[in-house]
Structures are given as C-alpha cells and as structure tokens.
Structure 1
Amino acid sequence: MKSLSKKIHLTQERNPDGDYRSQLPKIRLKEPSVDKNGVSKELARDIKNRIITELEINEHYTNSNFKMEDLSKLIGLPKHQTSKIINQEFGMDFNSLVNKYRIERARELFLSQSDFQISDVMYDVGFNNSTTFNRAFKKYTDNLTPTDFLAIQGALYQNS
C-alpha cells in the first residue's frame, strides 16, 4: 500500500515546465483502424464495394462522358475523397480504373462473337477514339492491339 501512495504522489509533482499532465500515465484507447485519408478500413471497403457495383452492375463506364464527379455523386462522397479511395483501394487512378473495366468488357465482346467490328466495340465500351482505345487495350492485354487479340483468338478457334 505504501508504494501505491508513493506512485500517486509522484504523478502530482510538476515537471520542470510546470506541467502536471506529462507525468500522468498514458492511457491509450483502442481506436478503429483508420487509413491515411481519415476513413476506417471498414468504410473504405464499403465504398470500394459501392464503386464496384456502379462499375460492374450498372456499367456506368460504358458512358464515354463518365467522369469522377459522376461516380462521386453516385456513391455520395466528395470528388477528392472518391479519388483517394480509388487510389488506395484499387491501386490506380480513376481513368485507369474505368479503362480497365472498358477493356475487360471489350475482350468479353470480342470473345463472345466473331462478327464484331473493332470500332463498334470501342464505342460500345465507352471509348471515343481509336488511339485511346488501342493504348488502353495494349496496357491491359500484355501489349496486344485489338487486331492482334482478334487474330490470336481466331487462330485458337480454328485450331480447336
């Protein structure tokens, strides 16, 4: 009992700066895990799932005018916070994320039917010009152009 009263007494002494608090024991309460954006990991996961829903199920990426601002409104967050969560949760920026979905859809269309014109698919998935479409296609298909991709698929189909 004597040592406890001594410890209490020590915590009430002033430090050289005249501050009592620095001598009090530190009590740390467990806080929810928060990322560098000030959003809990659980909330960031929930927002990521809402983004996936808007892109995969509602296919907003097929709109060539789909912008970050549109996605932000759909999920109910400010534009800057949406951008930060996309960067953190998907490891890429908004345009790369949308283009990735567009190219995945283009590949699906090319694989589903052989009579698609490249330009028709390009417009159907949300691209407005062939340069951007080709650049994005090469980025997400191991440097294959749409023409190369179709040629390989045609060769595989003929050999099976």
Structure 2
Amino acid sequence: MSQIQIVILAIGGIQGFLLFTLLFSDKRVNYASKLLGIQCLFIATTFVLPLIVEAENSLFTWLIGFLVFLPACYGGLTYLYCRTAITGLPLKRIDILHFLPLAICYLINYDILFPAEKALEFVRLPDNALLIKMITKMIIFGQIIIYTALSIKMVHFYQIKAKQTLSSYNPDIFKWLWCLIIFIVSFWALSIFFNFISRIHSINTLSYILLVLMVYFIAFVQLRNPSLFHVKQLKQELAQSSSTDINQSSDGLLDQEMRSNLLSLIQKQVKEQALYRNSELTLSNLANQVGVSVHHLSETLNQQGGKNFNLFINEYRVADVCQQLEQKSDRNLIDLALEAGFSSKSSFNATFKKLTGKTPSVYRQQIT
C-alpha cells in the first residue's frame, strides 16, 4: 500500500468518525441527517479496514470479519437517506429488508466473523480463490446496482410529483440530489472497473477520493443546513395523491369542452383572488377552493393547459413581479418575489430566468 493511499484512508476514516459524532450529537439535525451519520460511520470503517489488514495482528484485527461486509448495506442506506431527506417520512419496520444483503453476507460467511485469523486470511485471498468470496462480492455489487437504479427512479418520481402538486419548492434541491447520484454512479463504476475488469490501483485510489468528496461534502453541508434535501409539503401531497389514486376510477375522464370550461374557471379564480400569492398553495388546496377533485384539476392543467401545476402557478407569480417592475417599483426584488408567492430567493431566481430568459436584476435594468 502506497503512502498516498494510507493518507487518503486515514483522512477518510477520521472525517467519517468525526461527522458521525457531529450529526448524532447536534440537536438541530433531522431524522435523515442521523441516518446520514450512520452511513458516514460505516464508510469510515471501510477506510479503516485496509489499515487494520495492513497492520495484521493488532488490537482491531477481530473487527475484520464484521467490517468487511458492511458495503453490502451502502445501497440501501443511500436509498433510505434520500427518501427520508426528501419527504421527511420516518423509517418503517419493513425497511429492515433493505439490510437483507448485509444479513446474507454475514450468514454465508459466519465462520470467519469471530476468528481473527480466518477473517484476515479471507480478506487476503484472491477473489476467485473461494466460491463463497465470489458470491459475496456479487451480492455487494449487485445490491449497489439495484439500489442506484431505485434511487434514480425515486428522485425522478419525487421531482415529477413536486412539479405536479406544489406551487413552491426549491429546484436546487433536486440539482443537489442528481449531483449526489452522479457521484454515487461514478464511484461504483470505478469500483466495479477495478474489481471486475482491471486492477489498476490508481483507479481504486480515485474511487476512494470520490467517496470522500461525495459523502463527507454532503454531510458537512447538511450540518449547516439540516433540511438541505427536504421538499416541504411533499409528504402531505403524497398521502393526498394516494387516496386520490384509489378513487380515480370513479372520477372518470373529462371531455375537451368540460376541461376548457374548467380551465377558464381555474384561471379566473387564481387571477382575481390572487391565489398564487399563497406560497404554500398546493394542488389539493387549489382543488378545494375551486370545488373540483384533485384528479380533475391535474387532468385539466396537464391536458388542456399543457403545463404542470408548479409552472401554471409560477407563471402568475412571474407576471406579477414583471408588472411591478414595469410600473417602476423601486422595492427590493426579494420583497416583490415574496409578495407574489415565491418562498425563497433561489426558487424565484431560477423560475424567473426559466420563464423570461433573464435574471430578475437584468430584466429590471432593461426596462428602466
């Protein structure tokens, strides 16, 4: 093992244990952050394991049998972290099934868990020397591939759901999540290349560096902002949509004339009553105020209006801000944005530029 690898492993291990302590001891952090703390602890052990193996007969050699299989739960932990971070939903008893790959690895390798000598011998053997080691390796990388696919599908689903049901959410949340997934895919792609294609040690070193940057950077940022990935109101809307889906068949489909009339009614009420100025307006809230079902409202906006709920409401908000600017209002942009119904500066800037092609400050300059 090179000196560079030893330094990277030592830094990764120390940072992981430190972040685990901080995330668990800080009372400000939420449920998802504590789950991330557990992942930081497990990843820290992944960095420490090669150092223990290198040291051979040390005080920590007996831990090898327990630590070597922990990567079998990384996919499940990442999936659960993303889910709880986005929705705020707590873990359920059934979520213990996500740790089944780890349990299987322990069961099929039970004979090396306690004798330190056997565990050390197991780790040092080539992967193709034992059938059980090859099976274990396939379980570890197999669950990573499956959970990465599930995480991508889940984030995409929540992003679509947010657009369909929420008038205000920070789009940067999903940018963060997609960046996290890109890091995950990059790390495991390098790891798979090293383990199954070509054992180039520089590739393995690069994968460890990516792992440090990915998890520990997210953890540091989340310490500063515990609700980094949380999409407010999404939990309630998911529950609402579940009950709507059950009764959807009884709602039936609207014909084009009914959708056209309903869209005109929705547009009239949203504009005349300035419903868009409510930053917490959701699809179900608007459906109650207009007096239609959530399903019919969503169907009308998407099929007749040609846009999702988030875009439909934010067009009114941007138009409101533009009108104020054209009237030569000298108020701060953020004040105009909050009054129009935007919940944050970041969501206002992103939405305004998306709809007008210009930043709010540039738009103001061009009309003065």
Shorter-chain TM-score above 0.5: yes
Q: Does 1:43 align with 2:258?
A: yes
Question: If the length of structure 2 is used for normalisation, what is the TM-score?
Answer: 0.31
What SS does structure 1 have at the residue aligned with 2:303? helix
Among all aligned residue pairs of Structure 1 and Structure 2, give the percentage whose two residues are the same amino acid. Answer: 26
Shift of 1:76: 1.7
Instruction: Assess if the C-alpha contact under 8 Å between 1:47 and 1:75 holds in 2.
Output: no
Partner of 1:20: none
Shift of 1:71: 1.1
Q: Does 1:127 align with 2:342?
A: yes
Pairing partner for 1:97 from 295, 298, 312: 312
Partner of 1:148: 362
Q: Distance in 2 between matches of 1:40 and 1:74?
A: 22
After superposition, residues 8-23 of structure 1 pair within 5 angstroms as none
After superposition, residues 79-90 of structure 1 pair within 5 angstroms as 79-90=294-305
Query: Where in structure 1 do 4 or more consecutive aligned residues deviate above 6 Å?
Result: none
Cα deviations by residue, 1:106-136 (Å, 9 ceiling, x for unpaired): 1001111231210110111001111100011
Partner of 1:62: 277
How many residue pairs get aligned? The number is: 117
Instruction: Assess if the C-alpha contact under 8 Å between 1:61 and 1:126 holds in 2.
Output: yes
Q: Which amino acid aligns with 2:367?
A: Q
Shift of 1:84: 1.2
Q: Distance in 2 between matches of 1:147 and 1:136?
A: 13
Shift of 1:40: 2.1
What SS does structure 1 have at the residue aligned with 2:280? coil
**What is the aligned-residue RMSD (CA, Å)?**
1.2
Q: Which amino acid aligns with 2:278?
A: N
Cα deviations by residue, 1:38-76 (Å, 9 ceiling, x for unpaired): 212221111101111121111100011111111111222
Q: Does 1:137 align with 2:356?
A: no
Shift of 1:147: 0.4
Question: If the length of structure 1 is used for normalisation, what is the TM-score?
Answer: 0.70
Q: Distance in 2 between matches of 1:102 and 1:53?
A: 15
Compared CA separation, residues 120 and 46, structure 1 to 2 (3 A): same
Pairing partner for 1:72 from 262, 281, 287: 287
Q: Distance in 2 between matches of 1:121 and 1:46?
A: 32
Instruction: Assess if the C-alpha contact under 8 Å between 2:254 and 2:296 holds in 1.
Output: no
Q: Distance in 2 between matches of 1:38 and 1:123?
A: 36
Partner of 1:117: 332
Deviates more, 1:73-82 or 1:143-152: 73-82
Gaps of 5+ in 1: 1-36, 155-160
Partner of 1:106: 321
